[in-house]
A and B are shown apart, each in its own frame.
Chain A
């Protein structure tokens, strides 16, 4: 047994040498690549719908990593022992919520055209995740995650519940016309007050649903259901908003010079 093993070792020694050479060679190459090729920053817009609303944020990230690998897009990797793709999502979407305006930043070593990259990604995606745009980000742009300032939502009555708000358009209008909409926020120790009104940019009825554009992101994060809860109270309805509505995020916005723009407003197509 022992003799056997020693033989094995001798036989395999040249192989071990080869492996070391291979590793050194590739390390060298890796360094060159990283030093010479600058990366191209990109922003991707996608929709999440149907059964994919049950897939949580972290799993969506993992899903995208695999889409990039399958589609052969020349995505940039981090350095270090286990390189991973450079990826930043604008704003995590809660499980159960659909979206027509999700954003994700990646870095590429090389790009083809926007349409080609969209097509390649969609060919490797599943029903419920659809790439809408794939554009170059201005060099100095803030990362998606930190740039997010607001998001718009459509809040619709669920088809399977009977409760409706009569004259919804007027109720929403009156609700928003209030001078302030104060809610109490339970902190760790203290209760603080927050005026929701300051964080609502738009709020109106549209085709029987409620449309809103509200602050989101790292500064102030307002959830659409918090607004709906206040609206229901205002309308004298006792049900919880989660039982009545479905939420769709329509778009995500960044702020520049005190103005809100869709996250891809300053991006340009690859042609």
Chain B
């Protein structure tokens, strides 16, 4: 039997010991003697969050499909265990073997949101790996980062040896082969990094430096290794239907956030909403073959025993063969007592009918994401959802028996006016009024209930709004009050509930999202003064961040509260995510003009992603 890294005493005093014992069904145990490469794959947040992430399941399965490689999982120890591990000097371990991460060949970290940056340092520190890449030796694992935040890796560049830019399925074998060759040679660590920098999609931050102007903007990027590429191009999977797919997803013992089979039906999104980073990063849209999906679904349900399957994509309604897929899937799931959950569906007759079959109307609600309150503002952000779409959808839902409607909005979008904010209350009111107009009294099961929630807009790299000025915390809070007042002024205000998110966290997310290398120091400082789990409001300490910025001589408002000139060098300009800067600029101008850009299905807008030679760019034309 495996020896656990933690004693019974410790496991019995921490919350949820199941986070740390491994042993889950479908977790992979290999014989160490047969293995050349030990890979620790980390999601730097608590187990329940990390285990819910599909990307890790994909890479875990892919890497373990290699005979010479054993990939294990690592998550952030919750603060209760964190303290014990520090006090008793217990090194961080991987779940499968329970062996220290420090003895591994690779530590891969997926970086899904900015607020986990201090947790990356926690992982390195608890592992006993030097926090800065430059301090590591041949004995230390190669620390490689991936995921959406690597599209601006500069604020955390000092902590990583490598970044993998793009989809993980394509280049790992090459990287591992290179590593094996190097490991057996007597060569220095830097030789491996040099060779790795020649692999497409691999970015070695240590081979570059940023030079700054007096006004704090970037003057230029200097190369420190002449063979390092000037541009790093994103990697993508061209044939998404036949790429490696994890048919044995690890089944956790404890309830995790995503406690179900996750079936990815497509990558990318045709919509081109101007605030949305994922919509740009994962271009072009590639749909998976529905026959392959059905087979995947059956295998996954059989191999995991999960009682629910969820279709995953950025916008499921845009998947061409959704009716065919759902019809077959519903039949199979019904026979096998499996529920289907359908996130990100546009509300229309079809989706309502499907929902009626897969969920309990009395308990569920219909969700719209208008993102902005007025049509004008929705044109600015290119959200192709009209007032009529929303009202018609809501009326259909009311007639179908639903009484609960959720609405998602953003505050602080570029070019926003008070009228746009007032539009939020008006739209919510119109929906409530539609209920009373359309549904006769005797058919009202319960009164309509509308929940409008707003988040604060954070501009992200590689979007049309990457140049935009972000609102200050004060402006955000002011807008939230205006939204609330707007809702209270409505006739049906009693039927509308308003929820808004905290502004502190959004502001910091804004700093980190578009920051440069000078932020590394501040992040390190925050970590050293005790900051971890910043994504959790109970552990987030805004003062700690403000103090760190001050001590590092950083005016953080430089990164948030100014509109960037379009000719300014942006920290992520050396990355190519497929979408050209010209396209983003055009979209920035179109936003200013309130001009709508059609989606990829309607017409090609020459964003640049066609160069990959796959997906919708070619489906549509040939």
Contacts and interface: CB of A to CB of B under 8 A. Distances in A.
A63 B25 CA distance: 9
Contact of A19 (B25, B327, B386, B388): B327
Interface in A16-42: 16, 18-20, 22-23, 26
Nearest to B346: A5
Interface string B302-330: 11111100000000000000010011001
A8 to B, nearest CB: 7
Interface in B499-526: none
18 contacts: A1-B384, A5-B389, A8-B350, A12-B323, A12-B350, A15-B323, A22-B330, A22-B334, A51-B2, A51-B23, A54-B12, A54-B17, A59-B253, A59-B255, A62-B253, A68-B305, A84-B307, A126-B24
A126 B21 CA distance: 12
Contacts of A81: 360
B437 interface: no
Given A13-B349, A19-B327, A55 B18 contact: yes
Q: In terms of DSSP, what is the predominant structure of the interface of chain A?
A: helix
Interface residues of A, number: 43
A13 B336 CA distance: 26
Interface string B291-309: 0000000000111111100
B215 interface: no
Interface string A121-151: 0001111100000000000000000000000
B133 interface: no
Contacts of A83: 337
A196 interface: no
B357 A23 contact: yes
Contact of A9 (B254, B307, B326, B349): B349
Contacts of B12: 54, 95-96
Contact of A69 (B253, B254, B307, B357): B307
A70 interface: yes
A245 B22 CA distance: 25
B357 A12 contact: no
A126 B25 contact: yes
B573 interface: no
Interface of A: 1-2, 5, 8-9, 12-13, 15-16, 18-20, 22-23, 26, 50-52, 54-56, 59, 62-63, 65-70, 77, 81-84, 95-96, 124-128, 246
B263 interface: no
A78 to B, nearest CB: 10
B8 interface: yes
B353 A16 contact: yes
A106 to B, nearest CB: 14
Contacts of B254: 55, 59
B167 interface: no
A26 to B, nearest CB: 5
B389 A26 contact: no
Nearest to A4: B602
B253 A20 contact: no
Contacts of B255: 59, 62
B386 A66 contact: no
A13 B301 CA distance: 29
A67 B2 CA distance: 22
Given A15-B323, A26-B334, A51-B23, A65 B253 contact: no
B305 A67 contact: yes
Contacts of A13: 349
A69 B306 CA distance: 8
A95 B17 contact: yes
Nearest to B362: A81
B348 interface: yes
Contacts of B360: 81-82
B90 interface: no
A127 B389 contact: no
Top 5 A-B pairs, shortest CB-CB distance: A66-B305, A69-B305, A12-B350, A70-B305, A54-B17
Contact of A1 (B11, B305, B357, B389): B389
Interface string B386-403: 101100000000000000
